[in-house]
Structure 1
Amino acid sequence: MKTRYFKDVSILDAKVRKQQSYGWASLLDGIALLKKGTRHLIGDGQNIRIGLDNIVDSHPPRPLNTEETYKEMTINNLFERKGSYYSWDDSKISQFVDQSDHGFIHRIYLAKSKKPDKIIWNYNTTGEYTVRSGYWLLTHDPSTNIPAINPPHGSIDLKTRIWNLPIMPKLKHFLWRALSQALATTERLTTRGMRIDPSCPRCHRENESINHALFTCPFATMVWRLSDSSLIHNQLMSNDFEENISNILNFVQDTTMSDFHKLLPVWLIWRIWKARNNVVFNKFRESPSKTVLSAKAETHDWLNATQSHKKTPSPTRQIAENNIEWRNPPATYVKCNFDAGFDVQKLEATGGWIIRNHYGTPISWGSMKLAHTSNPLEAETKALLAALQQTWIRGYTQVFMEGDCQTLINLINGTSFHSSLANHLEDISFWANKFASIQFGFIRRKGNKLAHVLAKYGCTYSTFYSGSGSLPIWLDRYFCNDPN
């Protein structure tokens, strides 16, 4: 296929061909969506064209604005070599890139290690395409006019409350379908063009609406009465389905009732529907008492399973509790705590760090202004990078790095991925490999107080602040009051 349709170009640049197959024509539709939602992550810059490939992290991503003459130019022509590293060359940016995009390009972080360029999906933090994110782009693309889609039937408030119920996921979905009028009762099927008898297949007294099948059919009424539920004692079932569901949801929130009695109505609805399907598909009529017994048994089973799970102590919580207090590193290690401060209005960040030995004595600390930062997570990432560099400069080879951003620690330890921080993570890996031994750990803010104070106040009057030996008076006050 490549030889025939896109021999000398990327598949994202493939075009309509003469005498193309139906399969290729359908692929082109999907490729158009992929091209619109992908963004190029700059590595060595040798394969990214300035005016043709999506670089700017906007919605949707787009190329840089440049003159027609320069559109094919690769972006590495905008780099300036500084020693073994690269940075943006302001003079070349002014020459080849439209002034409106200068801010965008300066906000793109260049990794020190020049790996090949990557193509990522811009609508997922992992950088990978998903059907859900692709559908979102199709329905939220500002460049296309898509007619408004009517939402499904049913109260949004009731549906939201359903998703928060402490019940099985399949029952939540069932109740959502019922509110959306998506249950296949005979009355609903006739609205879809099926020529069938709309009357109730069980009682034949009236049309089988969803409310009739679950609440007002003689069989359903008998089930509700036999259940001896307090819901029935308080009021009769309404002819309005949403009113009945609202009453059940209010009943579930009643704190004076036991969990069993609160949840039983949900399982009664489920078993009534199952009994109805037995009549329609298997010609088997279950007795109302059997339906009630089945509903009660399933409610008991669910509560037994979930309550026993709640009683089991959570290892995750135990680990989290251990991360509250600062702990000394082993004798041959130092521990560097880091944190970031982020100004939402100015999009500026500062990083703070403090290095302590195995006795807990501060031996070095500092703070610095960081470059333009888009969000708090990027600020934390840049603060870690600065702390790593300062620790390595001081000659330490065995280090514990500790911060209060769990998301960042997960990214560093490889348990998750964030495409927008890929270049930052490359540099963190580059510096981490310089140490003989290094570990990254999470600690709560309470145990990271000194690094937080340095990030917040360390660079009040300068762009860089550093110290060693005896703590200054303003910082010593926080150190003495620190229970850790």
Structure 2
Amino acid sequence: MADRNGWHFTNNGKFTVKSGYQVERTYPDRDRLPLFIGPTVDVIKAFCWKIRCPPKIKHFLWQFVSGSVAVKKNLQARGMQGDISCARCGADEESINHVFFECPPAIQLMKDQKMGAETQDTIPQSITGRWCFTDGSWKEEDMFSGQGWFSTLPGFEGLMGATNICTPKEKGGLGFRDFKNFNLALLAKQLWRLVQYPNSLLARELKGRYYRLSDPIEVSKASKPSYVWRSLMAAQTLLKKGIRKSIGTGDTTLVWADPWIPSTPARPAIPRRPSFNPALRVADLLDPISKDWQHERLRELVIPSDIPLIRSLRPTRSTRPPSYCWNLTKSGVYSVKSGYQLAMDSLDDPEPDKVLKPSITALQAKVWTLKTTKKIKHFIWQALSNCIPVCNALSDRHCGTDRCCPRCGSDEETINHLLFECPPSVQAWALADIPYSPGSFPSSSIYSNLDHVLWRASDRGIPETILAAVPWVLWYIWKARNDKTFNGKEITPLETTQLARAEAESWRLAQIIDEPAEEIDGDTRHAMATPPPRTGPVCYTDASWHKDDTYFGGGMVLLTEDGTTTFGSFASNRVLTPLHAEFQTLLWAMKSSLQLDHSSMTFETDCLQLVNLIEEDDEDKWPSLLAEFDEFHLIRSMFTFCSISFISRSLNIRADLLAKGARTRGFTFSHVNSQLPSWMAQSANLREFF
């Protein structure tokens, strides 16, 4: 083979326009190209712009390497007069290298950050600031975690200790949004739309580029993806955690591979035996004619705990393209709220602590349920979290040296001392009619004291009218302390208590919503409890569902024009949500009406949501109810007239009792008769309700 020349500036030896342009720009004298032995300043400068950090820090690093940082030595070289000694340590000359690597505070900071020989490849945090280079992005660290330079000082515990302000309020946090997880939840919404609307313009464009033979849920890596696609793929893991594949007719769903079992999270079925057919489909578990589950085959192939979950699913009768449901909403549609909640829950450590410790999480969570203003709730939460700036805490944070109480002169002003042990505070609690309990209140623990006055005191017979003012007493004790500290004004305990009671009463009155009260006589009340007259037969339906029961129940009361009353009840395998139970009860009542030769019927239910979704008739908003919609459209086509309307629960008592009784019987059955069931004999007087 003849000798061939290779291009020196690419890895494969082939010439590229990009490398040629760089050589032309960087080395105009091409006859004397330098021989690189080590990294030059130009290489380091170029590397500065590739570091994953904010642009201002990239620019600062570039200035650092270029020697253009405005230290005193550089300022003097540019004609500015003045002292060039170091402002921090007093060294003779303040150069760039001295400021960042030779000055004693800089040396101590690098030691504290453990920047030894093993971490020479990391970027000094003294230069780059407090930024996290994770997941291909950067974010500023939480200022409340106390991880700044002052965290190395002895005795410093952080502004908010170990508390995460993004923890939900029901878990004892402040409930701030975590920007990263919230952004992932928003991106997952866009990815969900690609799944639900595959024929949209954007979905077709991305499909032709990234997932021609797959779908956005299953696609993995792509060649040279765009920024938009990389952003969508960042949310793919989150979407997979909460998504469930709809079984449809079962022809495209693999039993042992696809996540179709409605557990949390969704997963494939678990085989009963170690050997199984990996190509088994859900359609193979269905009766080919009735499309019901083959119970014997389920017991033969699947573990017993999965069988009730499988029976809660209904296959569709019409062929549909493969689709997904969101497992965390009853409609099956993804929501940003549920996605964000799933992302936050995934941050929790699934493994329990090996050492059980006393926790104040329950107390912090209860704070947000108090009947008071938001600022007082936040103040009490701060007291439980040790975040109130009393003298002792400020001294620990090097914000002062005096630890004495400004009101009584005690040696240390702690939060517990301020609110419960200081003599003015003790008098205020006595005037607020909170009794003194030796050994329990007041105690040396701030947690025990707050738990007593806010929650435990009611168990000891203290009236609610007295306890309602407790949050305001805590707040105005703090206000009185600040008036003494900053304004030199002395607020007596009596004034504190009176002001707290007045504010509590004002707030209580402000929460009362005035509604016009009209006098209703007996005839009007009887008319309100009586259903409007009907021109044709009417069927009242209701369902009874409980998450811990194996079965759900349904009931119906059918009234004809000639006064005949027909009662019906049935029980079936547990379904996913109460809405599924209401819908299936309506379908059962419609089929029962047809069997009784009623082709014109008005159905009434006390489930307003069911009435609304049937009126909208938008299946895209309810992917978890596709099978029910298919059967509803089929059965409704058999009626000459069929309407569904809402009725109040007070007018649907008999159907409700029938449904509850059917659920408690503990087995599947269906009963339709003109006689009231024997197990409803105790409620026979309700026959005259209508």
Same-fold status (TM-score > 0.5) = yes
- 2:76 maps to none
Q: Is the 8 A contact 1:353 1:451 kept in 2?
A: no
Q: How does 1:276-287 map to 2 (within 5 A)?
A: 283-284=486-487, 287=490
Q: 2:556 aligns with which of 348, 353, 364?
A: 353
For these two proteins, the number of residue pairs brought into alignment is 450
- 2:159 maps to none
- 1:62 maps to 267
- 1:288 maps to 491
1:130 equivalent in alignment to 2:339: yes
Which secondary structure does the structure 1 equivalent of 2:541 belong to? Answer: strand
Which secondary structure does the structure 1 equivalent of 2:687 belong to? Answer: coil
Q: Is the 8 A contact 1:5 1:14 kept in 2?
A: no
User: Against the structure 1 CA distance between its residues 305 and 78, is the aligned structure 2 distance closer, same or farther, given a 3 Å change threshold?
Assistant: same
Alpha-carbon separation, structure 2, partners of 1:350 and 1:2: 46
Q: How does 1:59-458 map to 2 (within 5 A)?
A: 59-64=264-269, 82=289, 87=291, 99-100=302-303, 103=307, 105-112=310-317, 117-127=322-332, 128=334, 129-139=338-348, 145=351, 153-154=359-360, 156=362, 165-168=370-373, 170-185=375-390, 187-188=392-393, 194-197=397-400, 199=403, 202=406, 205-217=410-422, 220=425, 224=428, 228-231=431-434, 237-249=442-454, 250-251=456-457, 257=463, 259=465, 261-274=466-479, 283-284=486-487, 287-289=490-492, 294-306=499-511, 308-309=512-513, 327-328=530-531, 330-339=533-542, 347-348=550-551, 351-357=554-560, 361-368=563-570, 370=572, 372-374=573-575, 377=578, 379-393=581-595, 394-402=597-605, 408-414=607-613, 423-424=627-628, 427-428=631-632, 431=635, 435-444=641-650, 447-448=653-654, 452=658, 456=662
Q: Hey, which of these two has a bigger chunk of strand by percent?
A: 1
User: Against the structure 1 CA distance between its residues 243 and 40, is the aligned structure 2 distance closer, same or farther, given a 3 Å change threshold?
Assistant: same
Alpha-carbon separation, structure 2, partners of 1:25 and 1:207: 55
Alpha-carbon separation, structure 1, partners of 2:677 and 2:470: 65
Which secondary structure does the structure 1 equivalent of 2:434 belong to? Answer: helix
Alpha-carbon separation, structure 2, partners of 1:89 and 1:388: 22
Amino acid at match of 2:585: A
Q: Is the 8 A contact 1:88 1:106 kept in 2?
A: no
Alpha-carbon separation, structure 2, partners of 1:182 and 1:300: 28
User: Against the structure 1 CA distance between its residues 147 and 169, is the aligned structure 2 distance closer, same or farther, given a 3 Å change threshold?
Assistant: same
Alpha-carbon separation, structure 2, partners of 1:146 and 1:26: 33
1:40 equivalent in alignment to 2:245: yes
Relative contact order higher in (CA < 8 Å, ≥ 6 apart): 1
Output the aligned Cα RMSD.
5.4
Q: Is the 8 A contact 1:43 1:111 kept in 2?
A: yes
Which one has a bigger Cα radius of gyration? 2
Q: How far did 1:271 drift?
A: 2.7
Deviates more, 1:122-131 or 1:233-242: 233-242
Amino acid at match of 2:587: L
Which secondary structure does the structure 1 equivalent of 2:266 belong to? Answer: coil
Amino acid at match of 2:658: H
Alpha-carbon separation, structure 2, partners of 1:480 and 1:18: 73
Q: Is the 8 A contact 2:269 2:302 kept in 1?
A: no
1:7 equivalent in alignment to 2:208: no
Q: How far did 1:355 drift?
A: 1.0
Amino acid at match of 1:266: P
Alpha-carbon separation, structure 2, partners of 1:352 and 1:146: 44
Deviates more, 1:29-38 or 1:104-113: 104-113
- 1:318 maps to none
Q: How far did 1:298 drift?
A: 1.7
Q: How far did 1:98 drift?
A: 5.2
Alpha-carbon separation, structure 1, partners of 2:536 and 2:230: 61
| Alignment deviations for residues 166-204 of structure 1 (CA, whole Å, 9 cap, x no partner) | 43455345434423434454545677xx43337258457
Alpha-carbon separation, structure 2, partners of 1:391 and 1:139: 51
Q: How far did 1:297 drift?
A: 3.3
| Alignment deviations for residues 334-377 of structure 1 (CA, whole Å, 9 cap, x no partner) | 22133557899993456443311356x2254445564x335794
Q: Is the 8 A contact 2:416 2:446 kept in 1?
A: yes
User: Against the structure 1 CA distance between its residues 313 and 43, is the aligned structure 2 distance closer, same or farther, given a 3 Å change threshold?
Assistant: farther
Amino acid at match of 1:373: R
Alpha-carbon separation, structure 1, partners of 2:532 and 2:391: 70
Which runs of 5 or more structure 1 residues have no equivalent in the other structure? 315-320
Q: How far did 1:439 drift?
A: 1.2
Q: How far did 1:399 drift?
A: 0.7
Q: Is the 8 A contact 1:340 1:455 kept in 2?
A: no
Q: Is the 8 A contact 1:39 1:61 kept in 2?
A: yes
Q: How far did 1:473 drift?
A: 9.9
Q: Is the 8 A contact 2:331 2:625 kept in 1?
A: no
Which secondary structure does the structure 2 equivalent of 1:61 belong to? Answer: coil
Q: Is the 8 A contact 1:400 1:441 kept in 2?
A: no
Alpha-carbon separation, structure 2, partners of 1:411 and 1:149: 48
- 1:317 maps to none
Q: Is the 8 A contact 2:539 2:558 kept in 1?
A: yes
Q: Is the 8 A contact 1:252 1:262 kept in 2?
A: yes
Q: Is the 8 A contact 1:336 1:399 kept in 2?
A: yes
TM-score of the two chains, using structure 2 as the length reference: 0.51
Amino acid at match of 1:38: I
Deviates more, 1:12-21 or 1:54-63: 12-21
Q: How far did 1:39 drift?
A: 1.0
TM-score of the two chains, using structure 1 as the length reference: 0.68
User: Against the structure 1 CA distance between its residues 137 and 420, is the aligned structure 2 distance closer, same or farther, given a 3 Å change threshold?
Assistant: farther
Which secondary structure does the structure 2 equivalent of 1:230 belong to? Answer: coil
Which secondary structure does the structure 2 equivalent of 1:12 belong to? Answer: coil
